[in-house]
Amino acid sequence: MSRVASIDKYDLEGYTLDKVQADDLQNLIEVCQEHIQDVDVEAITKAFKLCYLSHKETSRASGEPYYYHPVEVAKIVASEINIDDVSVIASLLHDTVEDTDVNLDDIRYWFGEEVAVIIDGVTKITGVFKSRDSKQAEAFMKLLLTMAEDIRVVLIKFADRLHNMRTIQHLKREKQVKIASETMDLYAPLAHRFGLFRIKNELEDLCFKAIDPTSYKFVARKLREKKEDREEFINEFMEPIKKELGRMQFKFEIKGRPKHIFSIYRKMQRQQKPFEEIYDLFAIRIILEDPHTKEDCWRVYSIITDWYTPIPERFRDFISVPKNNGYQSLHTTVITNRGRKVEVQIRTRRMDDIAEKGLAAHWKYKEGAQQGSDTLDKFVNWVRDVLDNPRPDAATDFVKDFQLNLYKDEIYVFTPNGELKTLPRNATPIDFAFEIHSEIGERAMAAKVNGKMVPLRQTLHNGDQVEIITSNKINLNPDWIDDVVTHKAKSRIRQFIKQKQRKVAEEGREIWDKRAKKGSIEISEQELNKFAKRFNYESTQELFFDIGSGVFEVNDLFMAVKKYKSTGRFEDNEGEDAESKQVTEGEIQDKYLSEARSYGDGKSLYINGELSNIKYSYANCCNPIPGDDVIGFISRTGDIKIHRAMCNNAQHLLKTEAERIVDVSWAKNLDTKFLGAIKVIGGDRVGMINDITDVLSKSLETNMKSINVNSDSGMFEGIITLYVDDIDHLERIMKRLEKIEGVKNVLRYE
């Protein structure tokens, strides 16, 4: 019935576009014709009309008409992923079934089954990512199956999320951080697993910009400042290589690709180095045009190493051993005659297309290239492997385990027969055993790595040859759960632990039943559940587990039940009070949330020492100071803990308890001091510490809390904690210390 009603409502044949809409449509068609083949202009026009008509009553947070969004998503699908016109049509209509009165029957009637299946898949994905409670477990599994059946579903969802991230500045800060955290946590790693490196990099940068705009702007500014020097160096570096490639009649393109902003920032944090000391800020990419082959890539590598000295440990051959997502390239890092390190990537045009667009490119090449088909088959098998393994009871566990399969850093190890296996970095022989077969993992008792006996918990490395020694019976150890990193291993061990817990709980219930029968006590399951709550257990299952394992005395439960049966009430009404207290705490929590989000200007929680009734404190893990990008988390007790936005603990809280986030902004003219820390690196000399303390105490009138100094091989490194007013004060201190004789670098200490 709804299909007929929709057809009557939307006269797609008779509707005439106005000039603005016609220009938008023409622009989309031109993008499609430039980037994809066999464009069905008539079908795209009809889809555009339905997109506009079904969304014309709604607007985005920016105030723009809503139809702009699906049109931009369609452009991304056409120009940046380059699949087909069916995907463009589905992109234009991807929100209709969820947000308008158009349904799947309407889509089938107008555009056919293929478009309807894709839109249905995109709608399911949206539902999954909006909620991760237990009701979503099956939907998440359906999502994976849909991805395996038609990869275009998830490619459209990537385009949808990419455009949302590009326009995220129109949302409230609180919502920006939540969406950016989810994108960084799930979409970016999944894009990496699909080989969509360009999209993955842009998503990470946009997330970084939303979560910590100050640090983002700092790195972006530094990159801009170095742009001319970088381009000059690339031209100088490549000049002799270009001449030699030209002499050998290679057809090629050279790109000097700067690393994306978030990867540079992450490296600065990980290595605790300033921007100036990160040497691989960019990579030089040499792309060989058709009909050059992988053998030609090795010839180019030989030319480069004739001119520049390679660093052996920085060489990676992803042509002979491609990554799981099909990525192929030769990577080498060389040193110039000035001592500068440069990363060089060598690949063919087809390899570059796959490197940028990943499985999307394989999908495009599938008809005519067996390799593309093989890679798609690997992906389908990967998805089905996730689904075929034991399912955790909770959807949150399933999502967590699924994320384990989205690892970015891989190692390559071999079976005794020389078969290659890909595992995430930090994998152990236990992970390897489960990768071979679940039964091998369950019966593993020892391992040989490169012919030597090693502990099952030892970390594996690239190139290791691994042999698993098994027993005749199941040898699973629950303690392995903290040593494994793959989905297969964690899922099976978790299932094993729960099986053991259920068995112990059953034994505990038997102990209780015998005690209750002996004491002539009868009690309902509902009443038992109240006693479990009274003794601070979430369920009777947990109570019986502790009874079965000897942690909780069954007689304590018996005496409490006996007293209840004789008096008709819980002792001192503790059971009812406990339940009442829980409700009260929940009400108090809601009150704090409401007050925190409405205080001040109605959008931000100001930190000014007069924060109504809400208590707050600064997290010791990251020591935020005024000027930092910060977020607040409301604790169970109602006070607020303030973290720097990119703090590891804050990122974890964003993933696990996003509902407790509250937007925080600094008040002006705070009359208090904050604890900051800096690292000073330089040449060791007599009087260095005196000069530093003089500058801090006399020139800058800054009080120090502590200074820790290490000196080795003529180099000095000091970590200074001091009291500052704000981030500007800290930066002035750092700039002034850089002027001291012998000081090489000063950076904020994390």
What are the pLDDT digits (tens) for 350-402? 889 888 877 666 655 554 333 444 555 555 555 555 545 544 444 445 555 55
**By C-alpha distance, which of 660, 652, 638, 628 is closest to 212?**
628
Longest CA pairwise span in the chain (Å) = 101
- The DSSP letter of residue 498 is H
Among residues 666, 699, 718, the one where a domain terminates is 666
Q: What is the CATH number of the domain that holds 485?
A: 3.10.20.30
**By C-alpha distance, which of 241, 261, 260 is closest to 252?**
241
Span of 397-411, 443-457, 693-707 with lowest mean pLDDT? 397-411
Rounded distance between C-alpha atoms, residue 305 and residue 477, angstroms: 49
Q: Burial letters for 439-461: b for 16+ Cβ neighbours within 10 Å, e otherwise?
A: eebbbbeebebeeeebebeebbe
Rounded distance between C-alpha atoms, residue 583 and residue 83, angstroms: 53
Residue 744 has pLDDT above 70, yes or no: yes
Bigger pLDDT: 190 vs 69: 69
Span of 36-45, 172-181, 326-335, 364-373 with lowest mean pLDDT? 364-373
Identify whether 308 is part of a domain. yes
Give residue 614's pLDDT.
64
Span of 47-61, 105-119, 406-420, 508-522 with lowest mean pLDDT? 406-420
Identify whether 447 is part of a domain. yes
Bigger pLDDT: 404 vs 212: 212
Identify whether 181 is part of a domain. no
Structure tokens at 737: 């210390």
Mean pLDDT of 706-714: 80
Mean pLDDT of 464-474: 88
Among residues 447, 465, 494, the one where a domain terminates is 494
Task: State the sign of the Cα–Cα–Cα–Cα dihedral 552, 556, 558, 564.
Answer: negative
**By C-alpha distance, which of 333, 366, 365, 330 is closest to 348?**
330
Mean pLDDT of 78-104: 90
217 CB contacts (<8 Å, ≥6 apart)? none
- Which of 261-270, 295-304, 641-650 has maximum average pLDDT? 295-304
Tell me: cis bond preceding 291? Omega within 30 of 0 counts: yes
Give residue 26's pLDDT.
95
- Cα-Cα-Cα-Cα torsion 476, 477, 482, 485, nearest 10 degrees, comes to -20
What are the backbone angles phi and psi of residue 652, rounded to the nearest 5°?
-65, -45
Rounded distance between C-alpha atoms, residue 202 and residue 185, angstroms: 14
Rounded distance between C-alpha atoms, residue 555 and residue 547, angstroms: 10
H or E element, residue 743:
strand 743-748
Span of 237-246, 574-583, 700-709 with lowest mean pLDDT? 574-583
**Domain count within the chain:** 6
Identify whether 228 is part of a domain. yes
CA distances 663 to 90, 172, 207, Å, are 36, 9, 16
Structure tokens at 105: 């029957």
Give residue 399's pLDDT.
52
Bigger pLDDT: 713 vs 579: 713
Residue 589 has pLDDT above 70, yes or no: no
Catalytic residues: 98-99
507 & 520 share domain: yes
Bigger pLDDT: 3 vs 470: 470
**By C-alpha distance, which of 59, 80, 78 is closest to 69?**
59
Q: Please, which residues bridge with residue 722 across strands?
A: 676, 704
Residue 114 burial (C-beta neighbours within 10 Å; 0-12, 13-18, 19+)? middle
pLDDT band at 595 (very low <50, low <70, confident <90, very high): very low
Contact 324, 378 (CB under 8 A): yes
Among residues 318, 341, 365, the one where a domain terminates is 365
Q: In the structure, how many helices (H) and strands (E) does the chain have?
A: 31, 20
Rounded distance between C-alpha atoms, residue 530 and residue 575, angstroms: 7
Global pTM?
0.67
Identify whether 155 is part of a domain. yes
Q: Please, which residues bridge with residue 342 across strands?
A: 334
Coil, strand or helix at 497: helix
Q: What is the CATH number of the domain that holds 123?
A: 1.10.3210.10
Bigger pLDDT: 516 vs 276: 516
Please give the mean pLDDT across all residues of the chain.
Answer: 80
Q: Containing domain of residue 287, as a range?
A: 219-365
Give residue 397's pLDDT.
55
351 & 387 share domain: no
444 & 505 share domain: no
Identify whether 709 is part of a domain. yes
Rounded distance between C-alpha atoms, residue 377 and residue 371, angstroms: 10
Give residue 178's pLDDT.
83
33 & 156 share domain: yes
Mean pLDDT of 50-60: 92
Instruction: State in Å, rounded, how far the first CA of the chain is from the last one.
Output: 62
Residue 538 burial (C-beta neighbours within 10 Å; 0-12, 13-18, 19+)? exposed
73 & 107 share domain: yes
Residue 535 has pLDDT above 90, yes or no: no
Rounded distance between C-alpha atoms, residue 434 and residue 442, angstroms: 8
Residue 266 has pLDDT above 70, yes or no: yes
pLDDT band at 563 (very low <50, low <70, confident <90, very high): confident
Q: In what order do the strands lie in the sheet with 630-634?
A: 605-607, 661-666, 630-634, 640-644, 616-618
Q: What is the CATH number of the domain that holds 691?
A: 3.30.70.260
Q: Please, which residues bridge with residue 616 across strands?
A: 640
pLDDT band at 2 (very low <50, low <70, confident <90, very high): very low
- Which of 200-214, 368-382, 510-524, 674-688 has maximum average pLDDT? 200-214
**By C-alpha distance, which of 179, 307, 283, 164 is closest to 230?**
283
Residue 231 has pLDDT above 90, yes or no: no
What are the pLDDT digits (tens) for 607-650? 444 444 567 778 777 788 888 888 888 766 567 888 888 887 78
429 & 477 share domain: yes
Rounded distance between C-alpha atoms, residue 530 and residue 537, angstroms: 9
Rounded distance between C-alpha atoms, residue 738 and residue 173, angstroms: 35
